[in-house]
Amino acid sequence: MTKYIVQGGKPLFGEVEISGAKNAAVAIIPAALLVDGVCRIENIPQISDVTLCLRILEELGANIRPVNRHTVEIDCRHIHSTRTSYELARRIRASYYLIGALLGRFGQAEVAMPGGCNFGVRPIDQHVKGFATLGAKVVVEGGFIRASAEGRRLRGANIYLDVVSVGATMNIMMAAVMAEGNTVIENAAKEPHIVDLANFLNSMGANIRGAGTDTIKIRGVDSLSGGSYAIIPDQIEAGTYMAAVAATGGQVLVKNIIPKHMDCITAKLQECGVEVEEHEDTLLVRRTGKLRRANVKTLPYPGFPTDMQPQITAVLCLAEGTSLVTESVWSNRYQYVDELKRMGANIQVDDKTAVVEGVDHLTGAPIQACDLRAGAAMVIAALAAQGCSEISRVQYIERGYEDIVDKLRALGADIRSVEEPEETDELKAQIS
Ligand code: EPU
């Protein structure tokens, strides 16, 4: 069991290099299944969700060759199975992309119901609706989603999404890329990783237009061949370091980013009194004065990302005045608030809204990461707090943040990772 020990109260100074985008990588790796050739993928983040995706592909028969720490070659010419193991697929949300990819290439897929962070109901009805409209039969049996095309190839169709869903947009894109005829996805999500997946597939020979707008048009092609592709930088990882500087004060150059992707986060931090200077592929983030209150509402891109909601809430805990945070993407993404309260935060949650009364300071405490982004918020709060915090369940954080401890230490943070023995069953019984 790994824990982070954080001695808070130190401003951050220096430079941080942002890794490849997690939510692009966990889609692009399964999308390699569509390619009848070798895909070289660069700028892959070293995080546990990516390791799991690669292991799942390997189990299906892909040949995975690491080239260096951030580059792999994936060869899916000899896939021998279209059924994922329950054990691996259920541990990661993005395993649902295996359905679209396997269905698109082989006309069939059997994938364990996806797992991932738990923040309320996470339906996949829009994915299923998309597959069915393309001519697939989809059933859920024994913990698995089984999808099969009538005949071997899906048929292009018009699909209108009832909710703007990142996952459904990308999954339908994968299923449709080699379908017979044309597909149009309307009310599509517009996140940067959707454009990234489309660019990856196009570079392998697909014909996708309109990614990044709400209408995506796909002309089915017969096959995809290999090539080389570099994943975009992680918008949320960059935003998390920006929020950390906002909370602790200091000055950090956030490197290897696409500033346009950061606009929604940059604007909100500026409203809070943080200075952000934009350069070609870097942002200089500085906070010297007091933090100001702000209202935040999460929305699909280009709105403020739900995956930054816990981190900005941690910042607003220390801002002067009352801030309102409204979560409008997920139904239950405030489980971490009780942990912030242990540190002295003053937050009241009413359904989708958190009312955050700024406090003068937070104090270090034993806290836990309830999920990936909540975990990032705990790190931010602990870095800004007076005294020592002990963050447990950090395996959630390591699902999505490459080398977070080393990157923060390089900025002058006093954070270290320690291994502790697992609680024995006997001890757990005594506690409960
Ligand atoms: N929804 C439906 N039906 C569906 C799909 C989604 O009702 O079939 C609803 C969801 O319940 C939610 C909303 O639509 O209320 C948006 O969900 P979306 O499908 O966009 O989310 P996702 O694709 O499952 C991805 C990211 C999440 C991120 C969301 C929103 C991955 C692997 N996950 O999830 O990332 O919060 O988009 O941007 O890409 C994270 O990185 O910490 C994370 C949770």
DSSP 51-98: HHHHHHHHHHT-EEEEEETTEEEEE-TT---SB--HHHHTT-GGGGHH
Helix (H) or strand (E) holding 147: strand 144-149
Give the lowest-confidence range in 143-152, 218-227, 349-358.
143-152
More confident residue, 310 or 332: 310
In the reported structure, the alpha carbon of residue 122 is separated from the centroid of ligand 1 by a whole-number distance in angstroms of 7
What whole-number percentage of the chain has pLDDT above 70? 96
> Are 180 and 218 contacting, i.e. CB atoms less than 8 angstroms apart?
no
pLDDT of 424: 58
How many CB atoms are closer than 10 A to CB 331? 12
Report the nearest-CA residue for atom 35 of ligand 1.
307
- Among 97, 127, 165, 326, the mutation site with the greatest number of ligand 1 atoms within 8 A of its Cβ is 165
pLDDT tops 80 at residue 87: yes
Taking the centre of ligand 1 as the mean of its atom positions, its distance from the CA of residue 167, in whole angstroms, is 6
Taking only the tens place, the pLDDT of each residue in 1-45 is: 899 999 999 999 999 999 999 999 999 999 999 999 999 999 999
What confidence tier does 332 reach under pLDDT thresholds 50, 70, 90?
confident
Write down the pLDDT at residue 431: 40
Specify burial of residue 348 (Cβ count, 10 A radius: 0-12, 13-18, 19+).
Answer: exposed
Percent of the chain with pLDDT over 90: 89
- Residues whose CB falls within 8 Å of the CB of residue 407, separated by 6 or more in sequence, listed in order: 16, 17, 241
Counts for the chain of helices (H) and strands (E), in that order: 15, 23
Backbone angles phi, psi at 297, to 5 degrees: -130, 125
| Dist CA 100 CA 109 (whole Å) | 8
> Which of 349, 346, 337 has the alpha carbon at shortest distance from 310?
337
Task: Tell the residue nearest (CA) to atom 4 of ligand 1.
Answer: 124
Residue 400 CA, closest ligand 1 atom number: 41
Beta-sheet strand order (sheet of 227-230): 63-68, 71-75, 38-42, 227-230
**pLDDT reading at 423 higher than 80:** no
Query: Would residue 117 show up in a list of annotated catalytic residues for this protein?
Result: yes
For residue 223, the CA-to-ligand 1 centroid distance in Å is 29
Q: Which amino acid is at 418?
A: V
Q: Given a cut of 70, is residue 295 above it in pLDDT?
A: yes
Instruction: Tell me how far apart the alpha carbons of residues 54 and 73 are, in angstroms, rounded to a whole number.
Output: 11
From CA 254, how far away is CA 233, in angstroms rounded? 11
pLDDT confidence of residue 412? 98
Atom 32 of ligand 1, nearest CA residue: 94
Mutate to test the pocket of ligand 1, among 22, 97, 166, 236 (most ligand atoms within 8 A of CB): 166
pTM: 0.96
Ligand 1, residue 94: give the atom nearest the CA: 32
Q: From ligand 1's centre to the CA of 121, what distance in Å?
A: 10
DSSP state of 403: T
**C-alpha torsion angle, residues 170, 171, 174, 175 (rounded to 10):** -150
Q: Whole-angstrom Cα distance, residue 377 to residue 99?
A: 32
Q: Looking at residue 350, what is its pLDDT?
A: 95
Q: Whose CA is nearest to atom 6 of ligand 1?
A: 165
CA pair distance 182, 173, nearest whole angstrom = 11
Is the pLDDT assigned to residue 67 strictly greater than 50? Answer: yes
Give 330 Cα–ligand 1 centroid separation in angstroms. Answer: 8
- Report the distance separating Cα 306 and Cα 330, nearest Å: 8
Q: Ligand 1 — pocket residues by CB below 6 A? A: 23, 26, 93-94, 117, 121-127, 163, 165-168, 189, 306-307, 329-330, 372-373, 400
Written as six digits, the tokens of 91 are 């541990």
60 pLDDT more than 60: yes
Cα 428–chain centre separation: 32
- Cα of 246 from ligand 1 centre, angstroms: 27
pLDDT score of 119 more than 60: no
Can you list the positions of beta strands (E) in 260-315? 275-278, 282-287, 296-297
Contacts 24+ apart (CB under 8 A), 62-69: 62/32, 62/33, 67/40
Tokens at 316, concatenated: 């607003």
Nearest to 243 by CA among 54, 384, 83: 384
Tell how far the Cα of 144 is from the centroid of ligand 1, in angstroms.
20
Tell me what pLDDT residue 114 has.
75
Nearest CA to ligand 1 atom 18: 165
List the domains of the chain with CATH numbers.
2-19+233-431 (3.65.10.10), 22-230 (3.65.10.10)
User: Which pLDDT belongs to residue 429?
Assistant: 46
Phi, psi of 224 (to 5 degrees): -115, 140
- How far is the CA of 204 from the CAs of 34, 66, 178, 196, in angstroms? 9, 20, 12, 13
If we measure between CA atoms, which residue out of 14, 4, 7 comes closest to residue 245?
14
Distance CA 243, CA 249 (A): 10
Distance of CA 129 to the CA centre of its chain: 23
Task: State which amino acid sits at residue 195.
Answer: V
Task: Supply the Cα-derived Rg of the chain in whole angstroms.
Answer: 22
- 387 membership: H or E segment, kind and range: none
Looking at ligand 1, which atom is closest to the CA of residue 128?
8
Residue 63 phi, psi dihedral angles, 5° rounding: -100, 115
Q: Which is catalytic among the residues 39, 117, 317, 370?
A: 117
